[in-house]
Each structure stands twice: as C-alpha cells, then as structure tokens.
C-alpha cells in the first residue's frame, strides 16, 4: 500500500454518502447490475441492496460481462442481498430512509422534484417487469424520468445513473460532499478493509 493509494482511499471515503442507496429488485443482467454499481461508486453510494432474480442468484462477479462493465466498482460498493422488495422497503423505512420507486403510477412525479438530501433509497425494477405494484405502493414516493420518444422505458442502468446524478447534484449544492458523511470510526474501519482486502 503506497501513501498515495492510502490518500486516495481517504479522499474517496471522505465523499461517500452513507445516506444514499439503491435497491435493485431482480435486476438480472450482469452488465446492467455492474453498470449500476459503477455509477454508485462514482456518486458515493456505499450500499446497493439487491433482491436476486426468481430464476437464480444475483449476477456474479465471476462473469465476464459483469467484470467488463463493473470496472472494479464491486470492490467499493457493498452488495447487500435482500429476500424480497417489499420487506426491504419496510426495513429501510424503519431506519428513517425514504424509498423512491422508479415506477409509473397515479402518484408518480418527475424525479427532479424529490429531495435527495434526505436519507434516500432509489428502488429500481427488473429489466422485463419493472418494479412490482406492491413494492411501488410500499415506497414513500414514485418517480419517473419523463420520456418523449417511441420507446416506453430506459435501460435500468441509464435510469439509475440519471437519478443518482440528480441526487449528487442536490447533495453537492447542499455541501454534503464537502465534509465526511461517514462517522469517523466507520471511515477508519472501511479504510482498513479497502487498504487490506
């Protein structure tokens, strides 16, 4: 471990946003899963909750598509497996986190209207089915990226990036990247884990 590498780790951890997360509900394509992790790393998201697809397990780090797209982000973003989306939503809410489901419904609002400086988890749906109605109803809000084309939806990793960079924009404006958001003992613990994996 060079001093420069350690300094980089400390610099990155100083900008991590422990109060911003994603919940992937059965996102099953390895390249989408890993592209979302890569965006999480760029924005400072520490934890990506993930419900495995019904057909199998979470996309694995062993697959070529996963590693080619991830750019090593899986080392810096914790994947937290969850059994199902509704109970994950309720668990996050019990911790004071607002869950915003990316879902078209009567109560959907433009994603830019939400306040991402609050503790927030963005719920993303499966490529084929989207977010389930039950999970969308359990969420605190439903958000949508307005679209004016012929195609009805974006690729899930593109939608994740669009919303997470809006969260980054709001948090930058609020000064949330100017001082560490991680408690100092957590910062020290994660720095050690990253330095000596």
Site string for ligand SAM, 67-106 (x = CB under 6 A): -----------------------------------x----
Q: What is the dihedral of CA 80, 81, 83, 88, to 10 degrees?
A: 20
Residues in the chain: 197
Among 43, 156, 182, 190, binds ligand SAM (CB under 6 A): 156
145 binds ligand SAM (CB under 6 A): yes
Phi, psi (5° rounding) for residue 184?
-60, -35
30 binds ligand SAM (CB under 6 A): no
Q: Does 8 count as an annotated binding residue?
A: no
Residues pairing with 45 in the sheet:
17
40 binds ligand SAM (CB under 6 A): no
Q: Which residue's Cβ has the minimum distance to ligand SAM? A: 130
Interacting residues with ligand SAM (CB under 6 A): 102, 124-125, 127, 129-131, 144-145, 147, 153-154, 156, 159
């Amino acid at each position: 471990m060079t001093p420069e590498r350690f300094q980089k780790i400390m610099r990155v951890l100083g900008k991590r946003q422990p109060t911003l997360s994603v919940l992937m509900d059965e996102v099953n394509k390895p390249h989408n899963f890993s592209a979302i992790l890569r965006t999480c790393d760029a924005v400072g998201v520490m934890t990506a909750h993930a419900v495995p697809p019904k057909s199998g397990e979470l996309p694995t780090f062993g697959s070529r598509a996963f590693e080619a797209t991830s750019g090593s982000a899986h080392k810096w973003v914790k994947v937290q497996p969850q059994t199902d989306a509704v109970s994950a939503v309720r668990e996050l809410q019990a911790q004071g986190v607002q869950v915003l489901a990316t879902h078209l419904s009567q109560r959907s609002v433009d994603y830019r209207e939400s306040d991402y400086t609050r503790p927030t988890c963005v719920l993303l749906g499966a490529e084929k089915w989207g977010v389930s109605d039950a999970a969308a109803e359990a969420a605190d809000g439903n958000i949508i990226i307005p679209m004016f084309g012929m195609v009805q939806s974006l690729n899930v990793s593109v939608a994740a990036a669009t919303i997470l960079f809006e969260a980054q924009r709001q948090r930058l404006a609020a000064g949330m990247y100017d001082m560490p958001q991680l408690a100092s003992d957590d910062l020290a613990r994660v720095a050690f884990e990253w330095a000596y994996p």
